[in-house]
Amino acid sequence: MAFENLSDRLQMAMRRVTGRGRLTEKDINEMMREVRLSLLEADVNFRVVKNFTKDVKDKALGEHILKGLNPGQQVVKVVNEELTKIMGEKHVPLNLQKDQLTSIMMVGLQGAGKTTTAAKLALHLREKEALKPLLVALDIYRPAAIDQLKTLGKQINCEVFEKGTDVKPEKIMKEALAYAKENDFDLIIADTAGRLHIDDVMMQELKDIKTVLDPSEILLTVDAMTGQDAVSVAKSFHESLDVDGVVLTKLDGDTRGGAALSIRRVADLPIKLMGTGEKLKALEPFHPERMASRILGMGDVMTLVDKVTENVDETDMMGMMEKMMSGNFNYNDYLKQLKMIKRMGSLKGIMKLIPGVNKLLKKQDIDEKQMVYIEALINSMTNKERKYPQLLEKSSSRRRRIAKGSGRQVRDVNRLIEGLKQQTKMMKQMKNMDPSNINPNDPLSSLQNTGTKKKGKGKGKGRFKF
């Protein structure tokens, strides 16, 4: 995942101050030095870094202490807020036209991800906004480019408009527009050709297409792996075409993160979406505040919530939560939960969004195969055993039978028993948390308050424990 190094270093710097009851200006200076270096190393534009450190310092020193936060936590909160700010504060949505044709024009350098993102967007907007999309192939310089778009279109069952390689892009655009209007499409996504460098011929072609299409949205596709270069590219595209927003692609790769953290300020363009993989589902709206918490290792609770509600029947979920909280969690529930997680996608991807778990994962990789084993184990239990987990704790012959029936070892059964126990315990603890302390707009508040809430035991360090 992108930002890994930056994230590690920032968290280290933060750790110097969190939990501290008193902070001097010197403490803050030291921490900020570390923060500054981490950002520069992540290839963030130096001017952005300079302003960022200044703002954090002013704020951290000037702000009066909020009730319930120690000074260290206060600083982390400020860093989180400022990090959010440099990425744009709030999510900026696409310009979608109501009740008329929306048109999106994809532009960007060669290999940035235009064609892939065009298909992702078609899928995304059809699912989320119920739009009927038409993909238009305007990259006439390579026959393979048209085939690529057609292949992607087929995968998502979306029509592709193309006129081969002999018609000029602006003419194809004109015909596609007429075709879309005649055939009740409500979204056009135009995939244009990329170049290795920005040149006048390329820009002129894009301007001509723009004149014909009069797009609702010009989306600049930027490869996050290219770092600072990406930012200057964004600037030139914006100057020539008046771009509306950026899609940052390949954030799943090992990027340092500089582009994501500089584009908003340097090129004055909002990042609207992010590509997080080669699969066509791997497109997400970009939320600055969520990204900031992710970088600072506070998990991404909001994305998790979105994913959960998207993939799981809500009544199912609520019933499950109630059951879990009540402490009467049995193997039937466990299995059901397992299936929910499966439906939500990669276990690792989901787990990473939970605060604190990212660190844990590095040491102990979650094996997706284990899910299959667990399923096999539970399938070998009798109905009674599934309903009353205590039965297994008391009887070793039952445990042996289950191991044999599922082709696993007794110690796997024991592990499962332990897992269920742990989960029940954790759920009981969660039940004691005060939900009024959880503010979805400020993930920090919930994390910190959970720790201090416990009477006597909490040291006020206030970190989420898993």
Ligand X SMILES: Nc1nc2c(ncn2[C@@H]2O[C@H](COP(=O)(O)OP(=O)(O)OP(=O)(O)O)[C@@H](O)[C@H]2O)c(=O)[nH]1
Binding site residues, ligand X, CB under 6 A: 108, 110-116, 139, 145, 194, 221, 249-250, 252-253, 275-278, 282
Angle, helices 143-156 vs 114-129, to 10°: value is 20
Q: How far is the CB of 250 from ligand X (least distance, A)?
A: 4
Residue pair 417/389 in contact (Cβ under 8 Å)? The answer is yes
Q: How far is the CB of 108 from Mg ion (least distance, A)?
A: 9
Contacts of residue 15, defined as CB under 8 A and 6 or more positions apart, other chains included, come to none
Taking the C-alpha atoms of residue 153 and residue 132, their distance in angstroms, rounded to an integer, is: 13
Q: Which stretch binds Mg ion (CB under 5 A): 70-78, 109-117, 273-281, 382-390?
A: 109-117
276 contact choice in Mg ion, ligand X, none (CB below 5 to 8 Å, kind-dependent):
ligand X
Residues binding Mg ion: number (CB under 5 A)? 2
Q: Which is nearer to ligand X, 78 or 122 (CB)?
A: 122
Residue pair 112/249 in contact (Cβ under 8 Å)? The answer is yes
462 contact choice in Mg ion, ligand X, none (CB below 5 to 8 Å, kind-dependent):
none
115 near Mg ion, judged by CB under 5 A: yes
Q: How far is the CB of 297 from ligand X (least distance, A)?
A: 22
103, burial (CB in 10 Å: exposed 0-12, middle 13-18, buried 19+): buried
Q: How far is the CB of 109 from Mg ion (least distance, A)?
A: 10
Residue pair 219/257 in contact (Cβ under 8 Å)? The answer is no
116 near Mg ion, judged by CB under 5 A: no
Return the number of other C-beta atoms located less than 10 Å from residue 14's C-beta: 21
255 near Mg ion, judged by CB under 5 A: no
Q: Which is nearer to Mg ion, 141 or 466 (CB)?
A: 141
Q: Which is nearer to Mg ion, 114 or 265 (CB)?
A: 114
Task: Name the residue among 287, 210, 274, 211 with its Cα closest to residue 246.
Answer: 274
Q: Which is nearer to Mg ion, 130 or 144 (CB)?
A: 144
Phi, psi of 423 (to 5 degrees): -65, -45
275 contact choice in ligand X, Mg ion, none (CB below 5 to 8 Å, kind-dependent):
ligand X
Residue pair 39/6 in contact (Cβ under 8 Å)? The answer is yes
Q: How many CA atoms lie within 13 A of 415 on its CB side?
A: 11
Instruction: Tell me the residue number closest to ligand X, measured at CB.
Output: 194
Instruction: Tell me the residue number closest to Mg ion, measured at CB.
Output: 115
Q: How far is the CB of 122 from Mg ion (least distance, A)?
A: 14
Residue pair 427/321 in contact (Cβ under 8 Å)? The answer is no
Q: How far is the CB of 191 from Mg ion (least distance, A)?
A: 6
Q: How far is the CB of 187 from Mg ion (least distance, A)?
A: 19
Where b means 16+ CB within 10 Å and e means fewer, 194-206 reads bbeeeeeebbebb
Return residues touching Mg ion (CB under 5 A).
114-115
